[in-house]
Every structure is written in structure tokens, then in C-alpha cells.
Structure 1
């Protein structure tokens, strides 16, 4: 395995920067740190202890992060990584693991290879526009009074699978509806360019499609950097990377995805998932609803994951169209749901994943995955970053901490577990701690800086130009308001 070295302007010293890697590969952020490979039995016991002790109480809610950001994080993940290798017992060389997504925030999961190469993603008579699907012709789900055949589903093939750039965005209904929102975001920008209400700068030599795609991607990148990351990261770590540059995530020509990021730090979202959601006026635990939108239902009402008998081979019923006001802070008169706290606890449904080979616990699978890829311990990463590691007393708290002490993980901890425990201790469950924040900040900023088509490279002084609550910036709330379909099925009268 080849290593590379680089010159660091800050110290004037030559030091290892990371694994040499070609485009499309994973690599290591800390190649000189030793792998932490405890027994599978010890990791299994720790993973089994990582259960949310009170999944149905507000005590575990993160009031700083609305629930929609859980799934925006998953959407972003599908934009930059796709690892198809199976869970292994033996160590895996990260450089041998293929990433089937471009390591860029370029929405290739949305656009695919464009209308010329993948015309089935676009409208046949107007390939500047994405194809949009309709909901079921029959009433279904929970409220037969909701109108049918609404333009609020993914486009679907005869097999009912979604026609989209990344099939994983049809595995969970919230992510599927988020993907649909981005399709409509593009289409509305195309309409604005055509009618003159949107006037991109320096675009006279570009087609309407290229102008729209650039605006969509730049506003999306802005959201990731200034709306998503600012909510989940330690402010000091993010600002240090933005103002003083990266120190730990470096590459020679093309960026790669570090396994410390993909297999540990960015799996923070698993802790944010709720067991049930206030989804819309039909599927809500609030008075007047039929039932809460449980994780099981959210997976069931998708063609790729669902097994619903009569509903298995049809688009979603209209009463499963999302009410975005319940997932983002859009309307102060509508009760918004929040993500769960960032801590070492996962809700019960994630302990028994359906249709996967053993182990069925997501926590156990994550820990074993980290072992198979030879991740370093959390404490060794903290020391390498010149940060103070968590104390043994801090790690020993809670039911998970008792198992950690038993397995001596209070001395050296699996990186994914350490990052979640750090979020609980340093971030009070609201955001990641220092190590987790620094890994995410370095990688996301690095991916943006390495992309020659990104607004940070093409136009560093660029500011979002679309309508926003605060002009000159842009948030997920602004995107959803711009699309304009916040609650297509309306409220009960």
C-alpha cells in the first residue's frame, strides 16, 4: 500500500497526509494510526447495549435539529458514497473498496449522467425537466378522502421501482419525498430561467439545463455547508477548518472518501432516527390521525423496501405525501418533530433490521464494519489531533458505558461509538464533539474545495440568489418554500 507525503505550510514539516488513492476509491484519513480490532464478541455486546432507553419520550429529542435533517443527511450520504461490499469478518483494504458515487457534492444521485446518457430520468418531450411520478389511482393508506393521482411520487418503472439516479433514495419514504423535492426544485428553476424571473450571471453561453443544474447544485452545497453542518458540528471545529484550512484530510489530485468518515463519523445519523414520526395529518400520533408514521411503515411504503400485499406493486397512496412543515421549522403554527439526540443510543426498530443477514442490529453491524476496515480507536484519533480524549469516567456512564468498561473500551473505544459518546458528553446530545466534528468538517470542506465546479472554486464570493427569508443565504426551509408544495394534501377542515 503506497503512502504519500506533502509539505505543510503551517509547520514547514513534511508529514504523512493520507493514503494515496485514485478517484472512486475509499482511503484512510489517519494511515499511520494502528487499527483497533477487538473481538467480535465484545463489539456485539457493546452494540446490543446501544439502545435508546426512552424512545417515546421528549427527553431524548434534540430541539436544535428538526427531524428533516436526519434524512437530508442520508440524502447527502447517497450523493457522495456507495459501498457495495458485504460485511466482512476479515480485515478489508479500504483502497480495494469501490465508491460508486463521485466523491463530490454534485448531486449525481439526482442528475445521473444527464439527459443525453440517461434520458429515462427526464421528460421525453422536454429533457430539460425531470420526470415526475403520480400517486396511486386508488385511495389507500389511511384516508380514502384524499385525492388520487397527485404529482407527488417518484417516477416509476413498470416494476414499480423508482426511476432515479440512486436506487437507495427509494428505500425510505422520507428520503424518497426529499428526492422528489429536489427534482421539483430543478424543474422550478428551469421554469424561472425560461420566463426570465431567474437570471443566472455569466450564463449566456450555457443551455437552460446547465444553468439550472448549476444553480441547484450551488444552492444545495450552500445548504450542506451553512444549514446542515452548522447544526450538527462543533462551531469552533468548523470555523477552524474554514478559516485556517484542513490539517488531516488531504489528497494529491482527486478527493477520496475516508473510511473514518464513512464508517464512523458520518454514521451519526443512525442515532438521530426516530421510531415514529408526525408525518402528515393522516399519519400522526396527534389527535385526528390514524397512526404515527413508524419506521416500519416508512420502509413498507416504498417499492424497493416495501412488502405490502395489495400495495406492493403500486405508487404510494396520496395520503402518504409528506407535510414538510412537520419536519422543518417552516410554520410556527404547526408542531415540528425533532431528531433524536446525538448519543450512543439507537431506537428499537434499528436493533432488528428486516431482510438482512445476521447480525440484524444496526449498531452491531456498524461496529463490526469499523473493525473489518481497521479503523483506529477514538482515543488515538483524538491524541493525533492534539485534542483531549474523553476520560474513562466519561465513557463509563450509562448502560452502554458499563459494557464499555467490561470490555475495556473506556481505555480504547471503537471510533463510531467514541464519536457518539463524545457527542453525548461534549455536545450534550445537540451536536458532535471535537473529534467527530473535525472529521466531518475536514471532509466536507475538502470535497467542496476539490470540486472545480463548486461555487467555492468557481466563484468564492458567490451568494445564493433565490428567494430566501434572509437574502444572501439559503436554507432547506427556503428550498421547500421555493418549491411551494409544503403540504399537498392540506389540513383537515
Structure 2
């Protein structure tokens, strides 16, 4: 899916009626919060949640295939791991989101890749090649670095929870190394902001990543007209001058990606892997990636090759069998876990949020349940399902777009704050703008 860059730059406009005040990003601001603090939380009996979760099972993987390349499902997961990590909340008790510590910084700065830097986290960096991130193992050079017990040495261990996200982590490690190599060879990519090659490479990597989120990732999830309206009119929801992660985003809207997951993926010319199936056919989880499972990204993102990337599933209220039951969780039903989590955070109903946003709620007969009010996560999936656009609907799309753009707007080091008219300076080989396929190409050619 190709989306040309827009001449204007998202996220700069002030909140409607409120002049934008610069804000800083610090670890002590790593908190969750609410977009709708005055809306009451929806409380349904466990039996109602269990019954609703059962309706969300989908066994026909191909029937709801979307137009969006499958790689964006995992890029979405990677982005989530860059900005959120909740290690304390429970499915069994009510939670005040303002009291929950977010263990990731609420900014799109790739701390899941860089950690706290080479001085604070030297185990992530190659001591023989200063400034470069470690990659590969003795058994497989095309894997993330691991210790002798096979544990990944990366900034966020969740990026090893399946073989595809692990390979995407590797691509970002190599992307940094490739950009650093190009800088050290004397190449320039626009004005330099840092004399030190490592810091300049880090800035280039971060800005290209942020630009990809705004111009390539978000248009696969949110209607382009909505993105343009946020740009022109300013945000109407995320009007904070201090970065935070709304629970309406992290616990509901951004969990749309679970619906996009396929039951199986072609990894390369020779291998199709299942999710959570017997080891011979499965994607690895928290374990070394076998050589035969090395991902060929042509099967996940559009490039100029003859290979057509496989597609993710449409966003709807169905979860494929292979993901529906998690073999390592209690309760094992992924939909039930998401629905229960929404209640522990006292999320309002989808209908209440729609009304607060001035959007006509979905008619009960369209929602197709016996419930009078619906959990926000389910509601937003249904909204996307009936839109017929392969994207989130009016309510879910705005929550996701305003949160991600708001995080960039609040980051004093993001390209939107430092140089809002900036556009990628690294070469675009496959389209008329820099995309994920270009990032992978640099990683593979210069980052090994």
C-alpha cells in the first residue's frame, strides 16, 4: 500500500483553542492517564464478557484478508513496545491508570533499540566496533544477539515474543549500524545536528522512524482525511502539554492489531510458519531464530521485486484460532483477557465515548449482541468492521492518531518539534518516498 507524503506536517497545530506549550520528556513522566476522565467505567458481569469473547473466534483466515501488507501488523506491535510497558496491573482488581508506572518512555525515541545508550547499557553494544549495536549469534548471524542460554540481549525483551517481531528488532539494529557506517564513510544526509557520528546516526534513525509512523504507518490504520483534519484543526482529544499514554489507547483502540494477525505467515521462499503450533512448524518465542525462519521482508512490505507481500487480516471483531487461545496465559482466551483488562481500568463504553466525541453511536442491531453498552475495545473493532475501509473508524482512528501525533508533538527532540518541514534524507529506492522497504534495504546492505 503506497501513500505519498503530504506537504503539510502533522501534529504541529495547537489543541483547539489552546496555544501549544513546549513540554519535555522525562522518565518520571512515564504515566498512563485518561482521555475521558469524567465518563463512568462500564461494568459487565463476567458471564457477559465470556459470552462476548466466544463470539470473537474466527477460523477462516483468508476470508477477511485486507489490502494492508502484513508487515504493518508487526510494525504496530514494535511501536507499542517502544512507548508502553505495564508490569504491575492485574486482571482481577480495579486500577487507577494514573498510579500505574509506564516502564517505557512516552516518546517515539526507540529506547527499545538503544536502551539507555552505550554507557548505561554496554551489553547492547559491540565493544570492538564503537557505536554499533550487537547483532547475530554464533549459530545464526541473522538473529538478534543472545547470551549462552539463548536469551535476547535487546532493549525490550517483548520484542522476542515471536519470530517476526524478533526479526524486525534485528532490522532496526542493523538500520542503525548501516546509517552509522554511511556517516563514517563520509556521506552526508542533510544538515548535521551532532558532530559525534553515533548521536547523528541515532537522530537520523529516530527521525526516519518517526516520519514513517506519520506518513506510512498511520495511513494504513487511520483515514487520511482524518489525519488531514488533525493537522489543519489541531487535536480535539490529546491536548496535554505533558506526554502520557491514554488507557483508551493502550487498553482498547491500539489493540486493533490482534484482529489483524494471521494464523500463519510465509517467512521466506521456503518456510510458512504457524502461530503457537507444535515446535516444528511454529514461530519461535523467546528463543533463537532458526536459520530457516529468517524473514525475507519482501513478503511483508511492498518493494520493487516481483514478490507480492502477504496481507494482514481486516480489522474486525474476530481473532484467528491460532491467536484466540494463548498457551501460556490464564485465562487463555485473548479476547477475554482484553475485555477483562478494559474493565479493570474502568474504561467507558464505546457508546459513551462516541457520544462524548459527537459521533452517533453504532445501532444495537448492527453491533449484534444483547448488550445495551459495549466494551470500548469490542466497539472500536466493530466500528472498523462496518467502515469497509480496512482501517479504524471515526472514534478509534482519532484516538490512535491523536495519541501518536501527540507524543511526537510533546517530544522536544522529535523531527516535528525540531524541524517540522523535514523529510527523509536517506535514499528511497522502491517508492517516491522513504518507506519500510528502504529501511530494510539499508539495514541489509550496510548494517551487517
TM-score of the aligned structures, taking structure 2 as reference length: 0.90
Instruction: Work out which of the residue numbers 425, 428, 431 in structure 1 matches 2:391.
Output: 431
Are the aligned partners of 2:15 and 2:234 in contact in 1 as well (CA < 8 Å)?
no
Between the aligned partners of 1:294 and 1:436, the Cα distance in structure 2 is 27
State yes or no: 1:337 paired with 2:310. yes
1:194-343 to structure 2, matched below 5 A, reads 194-203=184-193, 205-252=194-241, 254-284=242-272, 292-296=273-277, 302=284, 304=286, 306=287, 315-343=288-316
Distance 1:413 1:353, change over 3 A: same
Are the aligned partners of 2:304 and 2:430 in contact in 1 as well (CA < 8 Å)?
no
Between the aligned partners of 2:187 and 2:257, the Cα distance in structure 1 is 37
Secondary structure of the 1:264 match is helix
Instruction: Work out which of the residue numbers 103, 106, 113 in structure 1 matches 2:106.
Output: 103
1:398-417 to structure 2, matched below 5 A, reads 404-405=369-370, 408=371, 411-417=372-378
Are the aligned partners of 1:465 and 1:472 in contact in 2 as well (CA < 8 Å)?
no
Task: Indicate the structure (1 or 2) with the bigger Cα radius of gyration.
Answer: 1
State yes or no: 1:361 paired with 2:333. yes
Instruction: Work out which of the residue numbers 377, 380, 405 in structure 1 matches 2:352.
Output: 380
Count of residue correspondences? 426
Distance 1:471 1:281, change over 3 A: closer
Unaligned runs of 5+ in 1: 1-7, 13-20, 137-148, 285-291, 307-314, 397-403, 489-493
Poorly superposed stretches of 4+, deviation over 3 Å = 8-12, 292-303, 469-473
TM-superposed deviation, 1:74: 0.4
State yes or no: 1:473 paired with 2:446. no
Are the aligned partners of 1:242 and 1:445 in contact in 2 as well (CA < 8 Å)?
no
Distance 1:335 1:235, change over 3 A: closer
Secondary structure of the 1:241 match is helix
Unaligned runs of 5+ in 2: 1-13, 19-26
Query: How well do the aligned residues superpose, as a CA RMSD in angstroms?
Result: 2.3
When structure 1 is superposed on structure 2, of 294-303 and 343-352 the one drifting more is 294-303
TM-superposed deviation, 1:168: 0.4
State yes or no: 1:177 paired with 2:183. no
TM-superposed deviation, 1:97: 1.1
Are the aligned partners of 1:422 and 1:432 in contact in 2 as well (CA < 8 Å)?
yes
TM-superposed deviation, 1:199: 3.7
Instruction: Work out which of the residue numbers 368, 376, 382 in structure 2 matches 1:421.
Output: 382
Distance 1:48 1:471, change over 3 A: closer
